[in-house]
A and B are shown apart, each in its own frame.
Chain A
Amino acid sequence: MTQQQRMILALALSFIFFIAYDYFMPKPQKVLDQNITTQTSTQVSQESNAAPFSAPVSTTNNNINATTTPLKSANVAPVAANSTNDTIAVINAKNFKLTIDGLGRISNYEVLNDRFRAEDGTYPNLVSSKFDLKPLEIRFSDATLNNEAFKNNYIADKSEISLDGKSQTITLVQKLPTNEITKKITFNTNGTYIVNVTLKTPTEYFLSPGFRPDTAVDMYTFKGALIRKADDTIETIEDGDAEGTEVFMASSILSMNDRYYTTAFYNFDNRMNIFISKDSEDRSLAFIKGTNSITMNGYIGPKEYDTLHTVDERLTDIIEYGFFTFLAKPVFLFLKYLHSLIGNWGWSIVAVTIIIRFVLYPLTYKGMVSMNRLKELQPKIKELQKQYKGEPQKMNAKMMELYKKHNANPMGGCLPMLLQIPVFFAIYRVLLNSIELKHAEWIGWYTDLSVMDPYYVLPILMGASMYWQQRITPTNFTDPLQEKIMRFLPLIFTFFFITFPAGLTLYWFVNNLFSVSQQYYVNSIFSKEKARKEAQS
């Protein structure tokens, strides 16, 4: 059993694990099911322009003061055919530019960072025009009030703000026949803001961080709602899985995510009560509930570790790597540390690979020593193989007996093999989910290690290194079919890795190179020993 074989097995195992994980992934918990009256579609008046809400339902029997929940089918166009879509204020900062529309919502949020620019040169807009729910949108439980609110414009006290390195506040006022809503928003330069909502006449309403950003969406990474719950654990609701009835009391983070960006509310001191409803495609629409005044911290922007970490360490929980977060987060932090020293993500990945191999070196060294001893046992092994031909179990048992007797065991062991799986997946998740690694450069045409190699060079090199390693690793196959399969594996793996992020292929390639050099080292020890013995005799 060689390092090589163990790694292949590790990879195959990780795939099975991955599939199984996808299949058995826990579904989000259901709360308050019994309290939600099934809203008939007739109640969602077709002619109504306003976002409809369910009528209040009876108070719960478990002391939770959750009396209403946003209606499931909130995908009805909430905007009246008047001028409420017009921009009433523009906020400019060094890193972003946002606009506020007539309904007092953030209607555009452009991330002004050249690294995130699309191929056509446009900046990512984190507020998608495709979806009706916008950040800072307010919906009321009272249907008439809600209708009014979606027909009347807010008035802003300023029409344009430039942050110029310091925080600035804008006040928006909406005068309704029966109420008056004041939104005071303080924007900070780092993308965070504080919003204060005050109502003249207290009534029940819902404030939303908006629909999730829709700029970086793919089938491999998480998109949807992420909630840091009352017990500080993280719950995620993937798009397509929203039940539309979830309620989370006393939570500290509500974050709507795509792969790289987020629009979030957070409050670690005054915790919030989160209500999740859903649209027609079972995507989460998230709200927090208030009756009179709410002061909430918010953040819109890329899920960059450093940015979030400076605001609050706990806010980094927004960056999630799926099941392997517990391992992927340390891997990412280590990679980030190396990047701060080296200054290049590609070389940092190479460094990580080599460091991991050096950590495992004591194990490998042990293996080398026992391999040396094994050399002397070779005739006895041959004898055993001959004696127990056709009885593999018995032969294995006898071999193990022999190994133990001479304190030499050529096998690598199951643990090192199994350990490779989480490491591999952690790196995979980090490459996919970390915005820091978007457009991570290496050498030549590698301008983005988080996507596949456009010229297939790394996968081919990886396959070649695998083949090379096979050639110099002594194997003793008893079955010719096994040998054939082994010989084809580099080819299979090359195709397998073609669509993987280039960074992952780079990791595997360097890993293979390390194995090759190690094998050469072992082989040279063997030949030296042999030469020495021959010289003696």
Chain B
Amino acid sequence: MFRTLWLKLLEIYQKIFTVIGFGSCRYYPTCSEYAKWQFQKNNLFLAFWHTVIRILKCNQLFVGGIDYPIVKKNLNCKRVYRYNKNKNSFIVKFWLVPVLGNKNRYYLIKTFKRTKSC
């Protein structure tokens, strides 16, 4: 419930402000995108915490650049993918890259949206 509300708010935020054409973020993914991924894939408390930290770091005293969200996941007990209709394939939306030395922590990397089909 709360999760969907947050995601909706983020969506509205992105819709309105990308149309006007402002991107002020010093990072990839941008703060709003980062928040979206966090709220999609992490537990709520952690998502909130990471998002706040990220926004605080998003100023000119920090270098910026690429900063992927880190999420907590236990892959042993949770199905993290969903099959397609034909059950033979699935579409990759996120890659989970293990954080070295941290059990159950993964970098969350979203696949790039393809605009042209090959």
Binding site for B on A (CB under 8 A): 1, 5-6, 8-9, 12, 362-364, 366-367, 370, 390-391, 393-394, 396-397, 399-401, 403-404, 407, 409, 411-418, 477, 479, 482-483, 485-486
Interface of B is mostly: loop
The stretch of B20-28, B37-45, B70-78, B90-98 in contact with A is B20-28
Bound state CA distance, A189 and B58, in angstroms?
54
Interface of A is mostly: helix
**Contacting residue for B66 out of A363, A390, A401, A412, CB 8 A:** A401
**Contacting residue for A9 out of B24, B57, B115, CB 8 A:** B24
**Contacting residue for B112 out of A362, A394, A416, A477, CB 8 A:** A394
Bound state CA distance, A409 and B23, in angstroms?
13
Bound state CA distance, A364 and B59, in angstroms?
10
- Nearest A residue to B12 via CB reads A16
* Given A363-B59, A418-B55, A411 and B65 contact (CB-CB distance below 8 Å): no
Bound state CA distance, A417 and B26, in angstroms?
12
Q: List 15 A-B contacts (CB under 8 A).
A: A1-B22, A1-B24, A5-B22, A5-B24, A9-B17, A393-B113, A396-B28, A400-B27, A403-B65, A404-B65, A409-B26, A415-B55, A415-B59, A416-B60, A482-B21
Bound state CA distance, A396 and B26, in angstroms?
10
Q: Contact between B16 and A12 (Cβ–Cβ < 8 Å)?
A: yes
Q: Contact between B22 and A413 (Cβ–Cβ < 8 Å)?
A: no
State which size class the interface on B falls in: 20 to 34
Residues of B within 8 A of A403 (CB): 26, 63-65
**Contacting residue for B23 out of A1, A8, A366, A415, CB 8 A:** A1
- A-B interface, 4 closest residue pairs, ranked by CB to CB distance from nearest: A404-B65, A482-B21, A400-B28, A414-B58
Bound state CA distance, A391 and B21, in angstroms?
16
Residues of B within 8 A of A413 (CB): 24-26, 58-60, 62, 64
Residues of B within 8 A of A362 (CB): 61
Bound state CA distance, A498 and B30, in angstroms?
34
Q: Contact between B60 and A397 (Cβ–Cβ < 8 Å)?
A: no
Most central of B28, B57, B58 by chain A CB within 10 Å: B28
